[in-house]
A and B are shown apart, each in its own frame.
Chain A
Amino acid sequence: MKRSDRRPEVSPPPHWRFGHPAQSWLDNGLQVLLSARPGQHVASICLSLDTPLSGEPEHLEGVATITQRCLDEGTLAHPGASFAEALEAIGASLEGSVGYSASQLFVDVPTARLGEALRLLAEAVITPELAADQAERHCELRLAEIEQTLASSARIAQQAFRTASIRPRYRASRFAGGTPSTISAITPAAVVDYHQRTYRPDGATLIISGDLEPGVLSHVEAAFGAWDVRTAAEPTHQSPTRRRIHHWLVDRPGAVAADVRLGAFGIDRTDARWADLQVAGHAVGGAFLSRLNKVLREERGYTYGVHLVNQPMRAGGLLAVQGSFRTDVVVDAITEAAALIDLRQRPITDAEVAEAVSYHTGSAPLRFATAQGVTQNLAGLVAAGITAEFIDANMVALSHVTAASATDALIELLPPDALTLVVVGDAAALHQPLADAGWASTVYSATKLLHR
């Protein structure tokens, strides 16, 4: 045998632990997490605000989104377009995201300009102009964005599965960014009011990762130290619960393919079964040769890719098979997928557990290798109300998962006879075949999602 015929041995990765961020607080209650990453010349900043969307007035849903989008349209110190110019002049970028449990602002900036970037971020958060014309304009753009969402098969499927899985009384069942009726009701005064009521330093967290200089905390103090604590009520986070089972067929006449979500209301990171679910999820629908992708993509050629996606929230989560399939195979694909996620006859094997644990432990150093990776991961935990200790604790929990515990967790979480199904596709072609296969579904138009 030539030397090259022999498959090389793999040496095990060195034991990895997350290098914990340095934690401190400003007097106003702002938590600061500093994560030194030598050699990372672009610092990554996240300011996470403790602003659950359940704190939006119900008739003004989307006001958190509009408020965030107005922040960089001008500040008291840098009015109008001069704010964006000041930010771009130091090579910084500012992005925002509004989730159900936190509003977050992300800034990337070369480390040499970190202090200036922090001052600009603080301006945007503490003293934004929130000009009336900008609030109106962002409402108009949000209405256009909703139309774009409703034109996208994948995005309809995402929202429809959320709405079908979470009881309607909970904010997390509805569009994070609001609907045309709520957006139309948002006035510039409502934006100012939302900002005053909810943007506060106590409960907020500032995360900074990168090749940090020793004086970074003084930059933080200079930028955010004067942020007032307001005496508003503490925000309250909801704990959503599951809705009864639904099968929905959202009609896109003439679509060549259908987006599918098949699953159930799931769990969050604090659930005792979290590590079990990570292992089972990798085996069934995470890996390239997962049970789902091996059959539906690599053997059948039904799809570009199919996954079992685990989307934790702060409380509860969404767990679903996700894929896009051409119209003439979609019913077969759903039936096969349902059989593949039913572990009662084919439990998770010891080999699958070993592979999933090896995947999670091996990929950890990669996920945390850049400043952006560290900040993004920490931001996700902060939004979920979890500390950085979770990262190492989860590694330990993964090492205790057994084939039986992983199997049991998935059977509990995806009960074979109680799955919610969303299909976004050509109803004329799919309605009857779905019913014939035992997936009788109610047909809706995408605009149905906009109504409560």
Chain B
Amino acid sequence: MVSADVVNYPLHQEFLSNGLRVLVSPDRSVPVAAVNLWYDVGSRDELPGQYGWAHLFEHLMFSGSARVASGEHLQLLQNLGGSVNATTWFDRTNYFETLPIGALDLALWLEADRLGSLADHLTIESVDTQREVVKEEKRQRYDNVPYGDAMATLVELVFGADHHYGHTTIGTMEDLAGASVEAAADFFRTHYRPENAVLTLVGDFTVKEAFRKAERAFGQLRGGARRQRPVPGGLAPMEGIPAAELSGRVPAEAAYLAWRLPVRDTVDFDAADLALGILGGGQSSRLHQLLVRERRLLAFAGAHPLPLIGGNSIGLIQLRGLPDRGVAEGVQATLEQVERLATDGPTEDELNRIKAQFGREWLMDLARLDTRADLISAFTVLHDDPGRVNRRLVELTSITAAQVRDAAATLLRPEHRAELIYRVEASR
């Protein structure tokens, strides 16, 4: 087992007067700084008719603001050797840059400029161009990719189309077409506010220097009262096995089995996470060993959770058949394995293996300045508790075999699943 005591990163927190929450974790090992900003807005905040907007508007954050030309934010920092990007997900939009330390002030100034002025500097040209770019992204990454539409269908199946998690972040072509300058400005004024964000700085500076730099860049922005998000209630397990079928030009049939899980980073979620790992999280997992290696029923069998904060997460098992062979037998055998785990629980060896794997992955995420900063932002935004970054290994390794068995027995019951089968379209 990985020793948990190597994880003890320094964490310092201050609130600026405008409500911006700043986390600082010095690391003097390399002359580098990681800047990470989480805005507490994601695709779950989109209403029907707005699907894909949070992500489209993330693109607009690079299209210029009061003192920055379009594309200049990325260009300036990249030309100094920095790596810069942003992503949108169900529960958040994050903006991040990793830079030579000498560029930290510039990066913070650029972030503050767009936070403070973007809503007033949108143009129809930039909205139209980024709308086309995002449509291209949808074509390249989803519409023109085998199985690319599976996830959108699956979340709708699990949550229903009108639920806040019932659509994916890439959205729909129709809703993207409906985004306007006014809608974007309104969205930014609502969600892109100092008090709705967390700024994390990890890198080669003292605590005092880092807070001073954050204050200098962001201190003059106007904030407001912190918005209290209503905590959505979790949905009960699915009944009646909601099912769907898709077909497309894919080489082999695939199946997706999904369950509603508790919200992320809770004991029950973690136990379900480990249960999924024992079923399908690596080469020694049960589904791989039995269905891929021994019985040669499937080309691939994997399981993992999709961690979410708003009421429920998703637990997912993905199966891909061999060419010219269906997945029905593999689905049946998978469900038998889920039931077996629910009855007998994991062995101690299995549990130790899956915890050891989690430990390595966690340490690797923390080894990089950028992912360390992102995790600190995540635990601050989602749980109001950055210190859990240092406690997470202990939390996971404390889960018992009985808890894993119970999670399988209550949260992964075959009758509470949703099922999506992806069929091979007959060739034309």
Contact = CB atoms under 8 A, between A and B. Distances in A.
Interface string A44-57: 00000000000000
A304 interface: yes
Interface stretch (A163-171, A365-373, A402-410): A365-373
A435 interface: no
B71 A366 contact: no
B83 A304 contact: no
B146 A148 contact: yes
Contact of B129 (A84, A255, A298): A298
Interface stretch (A10-18, A60-68, A185-193, A238-246): A10-18
Given A81-B284, A91-B359, A304 B78 contact: no
Nearest to B135: A326
A88 B284 contact: yes
A112 B6 CA distance: 11
Which of A42, A81, A151 gathers most chain B CB within 10 Å? A42
B129 A358 contact: no
B360 A256 contact: no
Interface size class of A (residues with CB under 8 A): 35 or more
Contacts of B359: 91, 110
A38 B29 contact: yes
Nearest to A355: B79
Interface stretch (A26-34, A216-224, A286-294, A337-345): A286-294
Interface string A267-308: 000000000000000000001110000100111111110000
Interface stretch (A137-145, A198-206, A228-236, A310-318): A137-145
B352 A89 contact: yes
A108 B251 contact: no
Contact of A88 (B250, B282, B428): B282
Interface size class of B (residues with CB under 8 A): 35 or more
A3 B129 contact: no
A85 B283 CA distance: 8
Contact of A93 (B71, B100, B131, B357): B357
B144 interface: yes
B340 interface: no
A369 B203 CA distance: 12
A4 interface: yes
A5 B67 contact: yes
A153 interface: yes
A55 to B, nearest CB: 28
Interface string B94-117: 000011111101101100100000
Contacts of A299: 129
Interface string A128-164: 0000000001001101110110111110000000000
Given A91-B360, A144-B252, A363-B83, 20 more contacts: A2-B220, A4-B217, A8-B108, A10-B102, A14-B31, A16-B31, A39-B27, A89-B356, A91-B359, A137-B296, A144-B251, A153-B145, A256-B143, A288-B74, A289-B74, A298-B71, A301-B129, A359-B78, A365-B32, A372-B364
The 8 A-B pairs with the shortest beta carbon distances in the complex, nearest first, are A362-B81, A301-B132, A147-B251, A91-B356, A11-B102, A363-B81, A8-B105, A13-B100
7 contacts: A93-B360, A143-B323, A150-B251, A153-B145, A257-B140, A326-B139, A359-B81
Interface of A: 2-5, 7-14, 16, 38-42, 72-73, 81, 84-85, 88-93, 108-110, 112, 137, 140-141, 143-145, 147-148, 150-154, 253, 255-257, 287-289, 294, 297-304, 324-326, 355, 358-366, 369-372
